[in-house]
């Protein structure tokens, strides 16, 4: 069960996975009556640099800057220094020990999330890499190390959330992507393999969920948001 006092508007982080800042602004204006937290990923950031980040912050919204920094520690340190005073609430880095240490040196009040294992990865992908441990064990190992080193939280699928919460406690901020609005069914275009509903993810221990296409491509985004929020309220009892 999620344990943090987070406003319902901030439980869902809407991924602005669109091509241009103009498209991002249009999507925000359609959804901001019900949401207050938005994710800017690599695609949108490259299209407009800090334009959308600054616009969101000026509009009073929270921002998750999802660039998944992965480089030598000094470069990551300097990159984090570039974003720590931009009003960003959450930023992502890969969960490598040296990278985490570098990022922590310059984070200030910025909250850092370590990416454990991408939700597009499945067990077969690990086997292909020659790894024998399960995804759940790998996620737990990386999450534990991130918390020990000083990260505020991690990004992991909802499938691992229950074990992370049980073994690492309530301090960990757990943000879960790979969220779908109904049954855990993928279509042929889905690039995620470890998915679940928003309510189930929070019931398993996630604090917030990241949702993109199920909302952004919906004919009625507000209806999808309201249904997901109702699912979340029900899961939190």
* Cα Rg, the chain, nearest whole Å: 17
- Is the separation of the CB atoms in 152 and 193 below 8 Å? no
Three-state DSSP state, 116: coil
- Is the separation of the CB atoms in 179 and 204 below 8 Å? no
Helix (H) or strand (E) holding 175: strand 173-176
Q: Quick one: residue 15, left, alpha or beta (phi over 0 = left, psi -120 to 50 = alpha)?
A: beta
Q: What is the DSSP letter of 58?
A: H
- Report how far residue 163's alpha carbon sits from residue 165's, in angstroms, rounded to the nearest whole number: 5
> 156 — phi, psi (to 5°)?
-150, 165
Catalytic residue among 68, 77, 107, 171: 68
- Report how far residue 167's alpha carbon sits from residue 140's, in angstroms, rounded to the nearest whole number: 8
68 catalytic? Reply is yes
Look at the alpha carbons of 130, 131, 132, 136 in this order and tell me if their dihedral is positive or negative.
negative
Q: Which residues are catalytic?
A: 68
């Amino acid at each position: 069960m999620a344990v943090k006092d987070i406003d319902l508007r901030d439980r869902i982080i809407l991924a602005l996975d669109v091509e241009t800042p103009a498209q991002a602004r249009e999507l925000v204006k359609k959804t901001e009556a019900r949401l207050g937290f938005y994710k800017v990923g690599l695609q949108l950031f490259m299209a407009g640099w800090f334009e959308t980040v600054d616009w969101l912050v000026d509009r009073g919204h929270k921002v998750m800057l999802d660039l998944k920094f992965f480089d030598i520690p000094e470069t990551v340190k300097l990159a984090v220094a570039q974003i720590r005073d931009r009003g960003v609430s959450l930023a992502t880095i890969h969960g490598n020990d040296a990278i985490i240490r570098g990022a922590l040196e310059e984070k200030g009040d910025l909250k850092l999330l370590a990416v454990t294992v991408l939700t597009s990865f499945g067990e077969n992908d690990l086997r292909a890499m020659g790894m024998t441990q399960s995804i759940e064990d790998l996620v737990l190992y990386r999450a534990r190390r991130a918390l020990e080193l000083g990260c505020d939280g991690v990004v992991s699928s909802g499938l691992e959330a229950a074990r992370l919460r049980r073994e690492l406690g309530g301090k960990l901020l757990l943000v879960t992507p790979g969220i779908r609005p109904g049954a855990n069914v993928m279509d042929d275009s889905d690039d995620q393999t470890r998915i679940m509903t928003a309510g189930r993810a929070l019931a398993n221990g996630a604090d917030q969920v990241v949702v993109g296409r199920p909302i952004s491509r919906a004919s009625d985004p507000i209806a999808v948001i309201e249904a997901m929020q109702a699912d979340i309220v029900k899961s939190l009892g």
